[in-house]
């Protein structure tokens, strides 16, 4: 991980941590790393997107790049279009699940994969120099918003079944999926109830979308729907709600798809990739069914790296990043929703039956801090963690980590004793806050 780039690109408050100048440097770095590259740029609906798009584009063109702006498009769509057009880079202007004052920059290579940590470090090294071509060798800038139709066609073609007869509620978080997701599900025959599905960037992720599934629960009940799907701002996450109003997180989606893929012969090596956050109950249940769970660090790029390394087909995160490796090069909320709907139809079952599992209680706390790395390295916190792990003694898990995209420390405690989880989490949060005050 570099100085500027985190676990999912570069992200921050606009004109504070993320400025036009930084966007310009990222674009210019791409023209340094590759001679006269073709760069695809797309975004979600945030107010600052045009500002930052022009920053990246200007930097890239200064060094001779050909820039194509495709407008509002989900992250996975930008990766797909980059690959289909054989471009050199795809750039996403989005802060994913964060609120509207934040924005970010993610970069994909020509094969549609997010850049590795080392490649992102190379971009950062280019920040100290600038490539400025003479007036006859600057790059070009065009806009082609129709290119998003390539991704839309791919999504429609990915469905093996008609969704006719199914009522599906969508929460598009006022983000990149606001138009394409309802259109795709309607084309597939579903009766679609779309909410938060307008281009209003000031509202993106605000009390809606994948981080607020309780809104989806209400609409599923109201419309007596068969299922509901909620996306985040750039639609690379999926959180679902079944017909009974149960919230289905990424872990549970992976669990259901893993069993289904094994049944139809699509689960390579009978292995699935999760993260250090994946619920222990899922790991144990899959093992009983002959499926091994491989864990990685938090971050969909690490899940993908393991899928590639082991030549596997399915992986993801509790937060809703689901990677269907045989179909996509990155997490794709819309594609995952289509796949879940197809599974339910093919199995002639309901979502509540297909994805049902009793998870271990898990307590999660996020603590905003001044210096997350200094706190993580403090002896006082290390001693507290060791003490609490002893209390769990093989009956559960404790995980403390610094957020890769925000000034936060995340605390997770998991065991079959929910009260114990709460107590341990609260005690660790108290220590973190104490250290934060002393810094």
Residue 133, judged by CB atoms within 10 A of its CB (0-12, 13-18, 19+), counts as middle
Other C-beta atoms closer than 10 Å to the C-beta of 309 total 11
Q: Per residue, what are the HEC states of 18-45?
A: ECHHHHHHHHHHHHHHCCCCEEEEEECC
Q: Where are the beta strands (DSSP E) in 166-268?
A: 167-171, 191-195, 227-231, 238-242, 247-248
Closest C-alpha to 61, from 23, 9, 93, 92: 23
d(CA 297, CA 291): 20
**Catalytic residue among 96, 158, 177, 328, which?**
96
User: Which tokens in the block code for residue 340?
Assistant: 């879940």
Upper half-sphere CA count for residue 383 (Cβ side, 13 Å): 5
Whether the CB-CB separation of 341 and 168 falls below 8 Å is answered with yes
The DSSP result for 318-355, as a single string, is TTS-EEETTT-SS--HHHHHHHHHHHHHHTT--HHHHT
User: Which tokens in the block code for residue 82?
Assistant: 């980059």
Query: In which order are the strands placed within the sheet that holds 89-93?
Result: 10-13, 102-109, 89-93, 38-43, 66-72, 140-143
Q: Is 96 a catalytic residue?
A: yes
Q: Which helix (H) or strand (E) holds 109?
A: strand 102-109
What residues act catalytically? 96
């Amino acid at each position: 991980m570099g100085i500027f780039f985190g676990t999912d690109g570069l992200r921050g408050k606009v004109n504070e941590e993320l400025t036009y100048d930084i966007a310009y440097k990222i674009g210019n770095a791409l023209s340094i790393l590759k001679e006269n590259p073709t760069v695809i740029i797309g975004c979600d609906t945030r107010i600052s997107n045009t500002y930052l798009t022009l920053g990246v584009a200007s930097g890239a063109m200064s060094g001779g790049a050909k820039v194509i702006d495709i407008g509002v498009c989900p992250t996975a769509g930008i990766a797909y279009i980059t690959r289909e057009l054989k471009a050199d880079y795809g750039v996403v202007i989005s802060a994913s699940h964060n609120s509207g004052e934040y924005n970010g920059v993610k970069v994909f290579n020509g094969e549609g994969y997010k850049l590795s940590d080392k490649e992102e470090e190379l971009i950062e090294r280019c920040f100290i120099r600038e490539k400025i071509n003479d007036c006859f060798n600057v790059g070009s800038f065009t806009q082609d918003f129709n290119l998003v139709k390539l991704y839309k066609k791919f999504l429609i073609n990915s469905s093996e079944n008609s969704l006719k007869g199914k009522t599906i509620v969508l929460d598009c978080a006022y983000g990149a999926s606001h138009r394409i997701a309802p259109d795709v599900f309607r084309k597939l025959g579903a009766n679609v109830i779309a909410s938060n599905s307008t281009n209003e960037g000031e509202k993106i992720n605000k009390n809606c979308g994948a981080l607020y599934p309780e809104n989806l629960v209400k609409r599923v009940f109201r419309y007596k729907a068969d299922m509901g799907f909620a996306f985040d701002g750039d639609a690379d996450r999926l959180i679902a709600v079944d017909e009974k109003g149960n919230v289905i997180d990424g872990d549970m989606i992976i669990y259901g798809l893993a069993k289904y893929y094994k049944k139809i012969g699509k689960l390579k090596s009978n292995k699935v990739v999760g993260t250090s956050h994946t619920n222990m109950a899922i790991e144990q249940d899959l093992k009983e069914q002959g499926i091994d769970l491989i864990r990685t660090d938090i971050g969909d790029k690490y899940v993908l790296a393991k899928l590639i390394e082991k030549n596997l087909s399915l992986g993801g995160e509790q937060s809703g990043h689901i990677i269907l490796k045989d179909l996509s090069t990155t997490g794709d909320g819309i594609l995952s929703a289509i796949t879940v709907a197809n599974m339910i139809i093919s199995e002639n079952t309901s979502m509540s039956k297909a994805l049902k599992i009793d998870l271990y209680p898990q307590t999660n706390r996020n603590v905003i801090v001044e210096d997350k790395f200094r706190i993580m390295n403090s002896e006082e916190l290390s001693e507290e963690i060791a003490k609490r792990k002893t209390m769990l003694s093989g009956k559960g898990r404790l995980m403390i980590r610094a957020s890769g995209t925000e000034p936060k420390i995340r605390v997770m405690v998991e065991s079959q004793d929910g009260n114990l989880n709460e107590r341990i989490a609260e005690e660790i949060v108290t220590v973190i806050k104490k250290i934060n005050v002393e810094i």
